[in-house]
Structure formats: structure tokens, C-alpha cells
Amino acid sequence: MQTAEHEVTSARHPLEPLSAGEIEAAAAIVRADRQLGESIQFVYITLLEPAKAEVYSYSGGAAVDRQAFVVLRDRAVREVYEAVVSLGHREVRSWRQVPGVQAPLTGDEIAAYEEVVKQDPRWQQAMRRRGVTDFDRARMDPWPAGYNGPEDAPERGRFLRPLTWVSSGEDGDNAYARPVDGLIVRFDLDRMQVVDVEDHGTVPLAPRPGNYTAAAISTPENFPSFSEGPRTDLRPVEIIQPSGASFEVSGHEVRWQRWRLRVGFTPREGLVLHDVGYEDKGEVRPILYRASLSEMFIPYGDPAPTQYRKNVFDMGEAGIGMLANSLELGCDCLGDIYYFDGFVNDNQGRAVRIANAICMHEEDNGVLWKHTDYRSGRAEVRRSRRLVISMFATVGNYDYGFFWYFCQDGSIEYEVKLTGIISNGSLPAGARPRYGTLVAPGVYGPNHQHIFCVRLDLTVDGPRNSVTECDSVPVEPGPDNPHGNAWEVSRTPLRRESEAQRLANTNSARFWRIENSARRNAVGDPVAYRLEPGPSTPPLQQPDTHAIRRAQFATRNLWVTAYHPDELFAAGTYPYQHPGGAGLPEWVQADRPLENTDLVVWHTFVAHHVVRSEDWPVMPVATAGFKLRPDGFFDGNPGLDVPEPASHARDHHAAGHEAEEGHR
């Protein structure tokens, strides 16, 4: 196991994440320059990435004026500010107020609200009606208020909508097994007080615990089918690399096989990739300048009072990097592991180290390619190995794993792994949910979706690219299709932003080629990578709902925009209580041209969750993602030079020796 070390120096690469020292220096510079008081909260302190031209012209070891981008909120005047800080010159380069927005939730707010709610007499009375008098057993999750009408407008205040569950009080108990249905609190985060309590009727608490630890499943009242405890017939599997891993790491730069890339980390996006390229014939050919998850939107499809206002933007309202897990060897990652720490800030501007926030390792990925000559019986086969770069974040009840895979055939895959505990509701005994699935007596999981949007700043063999939509279509019967079997690939160039708002289509096996017409492959075609879309169920809420107005990015599986350094987040920079229209739908109104230019591809894919009883009490991993595959980028299979497995080589040698002996 290895871990990246961090130094504070102007000679660091321009894209290296901020170190702990740089985070605290940025906060100190802003505090001194603006004479900030106690009411200021530092929301985010992150690297301000320099212009592309500066990154491209950087030579190793050169001094760089590294800059920090700082988001602050003044609780006294209820305003959000942005600052740019030069760390090398120790000065504030810019300071501006951002009117009419709400910043993401802060750690201080999350730590403070719950005890205040528990002291509210209206909430206490509602809990007593449900038979709960020991309020220490209550557990709350800080659901953002969202936007459900003018009362939620950012200028009206800063609100939270906490939901309540009840623990047994025992250590390690799963409080999510006992949701308090129909009880909704509106909480003012600036005044730190309860504004309103809605009680839509008492539903009995669920009767059965939902504990899932090894000790708990041995208790019959938890899960009778597991009363014998954990399995005893599972034999060890050991991942051993006696010569170590095949990758090389320098700071945050990674070299593995033919791949070259940089690993980044921000408090909002978590894992970010930079400067991804592939070495081909001695040349490192660029593919991606920057890649990250831009937004997550989770709308619920149940009209019940507790459920219909659940529509959260986990990146923009909370921050996936802020919620990153410290990963553990043998649990989250296996093999010869390299870890990158993540550094974020607390609300006083102090650096917080998230140890082992990002895990990198190699793993066997089955067969890369194979053919058996049926005449001779000789087989040529190569095993596939891939580089895995991943992180996990816990967002209340759900846990998300974010995985990038780099493969020896030149392909890149992105996968989200969803696990944790479903956000649920209660039902009276004998009732069945219309808009969800009963998972235990008195507990149901509402229908919902997890909608992800990944931002891909592509540089396929250079910064000037175009996008073509490709559909497999049957040819009309006639002279060109006399036997009725012909089909072709229809290619539609997406020339402007107004044309580049597209849906996936499994019936035509639709994919999108990101092409560089200035460079051709061996057969004369433009070099390209193709985006093969992930699962694409559209949002099922009505298009005029507040939730969909706020998440317009989710209505298309592909958006293409001309590059702009400030356009990073699909739902806009500040979605907390935003009424909608920000981000992608706003930017594409410019209808910028997209041919042979620096462009960004945004891909929206969906984990459509119709809950199963097997998702309770803790959910087995479900996955969603997409692929970027070379499509004419190489002149042939780039994995031909992968060596054959050692055992296969020995078998070939032995077979050849036997054949020679037989001939003699």
C-alpha cells in the first residue's frame, strides 16, 4: 500500500489539487484582506484550474502562480461570495458577491440542526403521537429544501427539510428500519430554528429491526433465514502481485501500460481526471483534457407528503468530495493498492485530510482477445488487465462508488456503484404501496431514479473536435436491398448546440463519435472515440414539475457545448433552492457552433430504481455507467502486444516440444 504525499510549493504541477497548506493559506489570505468576521463560513476552497494554454505550455519544475477559488457565505447578511486567491503572491485577485443564490450545505449546519429540531414542542408532540417519548432515539437526515414554489426562493431564506427515523437505542442499530412517516420539518438554517412542522397523520413505526451486521443476522427476530449467521464455506481468495503493480506515480501523475493521466480531487466533484492520453508508436495522443461527474439528481416518484419533495442534487447541494470515505484495504480495494488522500476545508477554513480518499489498483478483467484455429487446435488468447481508479461517498442513507476503468484495448469505462440503504416510508399493517415496493412489515421503498451527468472535455488527438450521431438503420427494400437483409449506419453531424441535445436510442444502437477530421487513420477515416451511452430511462415526472425545471439536463442523454472554463456543472453552480433553468439549458441558448472546435460532451445516464425486497435492509450493489471506445483512433487492435499468460506460454512450449519429439 502506498499513499501520495503532498508538498506546498509553487513548482507543483498546475493541476495538482490544493494541499492542506495551500487550503489554509488561501483562507488566511482572504480573511486578512477582507477583514472577515465570525459570521463567515468557508464553503469550498479548491484549485482554480489555470487556462488550458498555461497547462499545455507548462514545463516540469517551472514556478506556477497557483490560485485558489473560494466560496464563502456570510450568515449575518445572508450573502454568498466568491474569491480568487493567488497563493504565490499571497493576495486576493478578485472578490464578488453572488446575489440571489444559496451555497451548498455546510458541515457546521449539518452538525447543529438536529438537536434544535428535537427541542421543538411541535415536533415533540408529533413524536409522542407515534409513541416515542425518548427523543434521543430519533435520527434525522438533512434533506435539502429544494424548490417547491415561491416560499423556497433563495431570497426568502435558507431552509432544510429534515426527515426523521427512530433507533432502538442499541449500539449499531439501523434507525432507517423505522421511518417516521408524514412528519415534515421546515428548518431555517440562518436563524437555526424550526419554521414549521407538518404532521400528515400517524402511521405506526415498523415492528421489525433491520440490522445487517454479522452479529445481527444471527438473531432470529432480525432475519430468520440467516439465523445460522455468516456463511462458513467461503474459502479465501488472495490477490498477489509479487513484483508489485505495473503503474508508476509521480505526485498525481499516473503511467500505466500505454495510458498517461493525472488524478485530481475537488470538494464538490470528488474524483477528477485530467490530461488523459494513450501512448501510440512513441507519441502520447490526447483523449480527455478533463473528466468528472458534474451532477447527480435523485427524484422520487411517490406523491405522498414525505416523498414528493425528495429531489436532491448531491453534487451541488452537498458535495461528493466533502462526503468521501476513507477507503480500507481488503474491503473497498484489493491487491497492490496506491492511495491518494483528499483535502477539503472545514467552515473555518482549516484543512481536513480524508485519508485514502481515492484508490488505484490493477485487476484482472477476463479475456482481452482470443481465437482458436479449429484446424490445428491452436489457441491464441490474452488476458485483460485494467487500471481502476475509484472513490466512495456516503450521502445520508445511500453509498455511491465512482469507478474509472482504463483498459488495454484503449477503452475507458465509467461506472457508478449504488449501495447503502433505501430512503423509505412507513405503511399501516396490511397496506400495499402503489408507488413503491414493500420490503419489510410496515416499510416500503418508493420508486425513484438516480440520474448522473458526466462532463467530458474531450481532446481526441487535439482540441478541435466534432461530434457525429450514428444510428444503425434498415435499408428500404429495393435495388439497394434486394434480399431485405441490408442495414447501414446513418451519420448525422451535430453542427450547433441547438442540434446537440439528443436522446439515446437502443432500437438503433445509437452512439456518438467524437472525431478529429484533421487526423486520419490508416484507411483514411477521421480518428475518433465513440461514446456508448449507459442506461437511459427518461425522468418520469411531468415536465412542468419544479424538480424537472431544476434538472433540465436530465431530459437529454447527450448535450454538446462549446468549451467555456466557467461551465462545469450541468444544473448550474448553485442549485440549492434554485427554481431552475441554470446550467446546460441556459448555456445552449447561445447556440454556438460545434464543428472542428474545442467542445465538451455531457452524458446523462440513469439508475432506474424499482425497489426489490432484496434491497433491504442494505442494498446489494447496482451499477450504471457508459463506455468511451476507440473508433478508428488506432490502426488496429491496440491490445495485440499484450503478452500471453505465463501458463499459456508454457503450454505452447510444451506442446511444441512434444510435437518435435513425435516427429523425430
DSSP state of 597: B
CA distance 190 to 157: 8
- CB-CB contact of 366 with 298 (8 Å): no
Grid cell 415492528 is found at: 207
Cell numbers standing for residue 179: 421511518
CA distance 516 to 638: 19
DSSP state of 308: T
- 233 a catalytic residue: no
Angle between helices 121-129 and 107-118 (to 10 degrees): 60
Residue 303: how many CB atoms within 10 A of its CB?
10
Catalytic entry in 81, 308, 398, 414: 398
- 398 a catalytic residue: yes
Cell numbers standing for residue 335: 491487491
Catalytic entry in 188, 314, 399, 461: 314
**Kind and range of the H or E run holding 504:** none
Any idea how long the chain is? 664
- CB-CB contact of 605 with 475 (8 Å): no
Cell numbers standing for residue 162: 429534515
462 phi-psi bin (left φ>0, alpha ψ -120 to 50, beta other): left
Pick the closest to residue 132 from 223, 46, 50, 206 (CA basis): 206
- CB-CB contact of 367 with 627 (8 Å): no
**Kind and range of the H or E run holding 414:** strand 412-420
- CB-CB contact of 553 with 583 (8 Å): yes
Cell numbers standing for residue 200: 400528515
- Residues 73, 396, 144: CA angle, nearest 5 degrees: 45
CA distance 335 to 1: 9
- Residues 202, 203, 204: CA angle, nearest 5 degrees: 115
Cell numbers standing for residue 265: 480531487
Cell numbers standing for residue 223: 432475519
Q: Is-cis flag, bond preceding 617, omega within 30?
A: yes
**Kind and range of the H or E run holding 24:** helix 20-34
CA distance 630 to 460: 10
CA distance 579 to 572: 11
Grid cell 434544535 is found at: 116
CA distance 174 to 518: 58
Q: How many CA atoms within 13 Å lie on the side-chain side of 456?
A: 32
3 backbone dihedrals φ, ψ, rounded to 5° = -140, 140
CA distance 381 to 379: 6
CA distance 119 to 343: 35
Pick the closest to residue 422 from 183, 607, 161 (CA basis): 607
Grid cell 425528495 is found at: 310
CA distance 256 to 117: 51
DSSP state of 203: -
Longest CA pairwise span in the chain (Å): 97
For the annotated catalytic residues, the residue numbers are: 314, 398
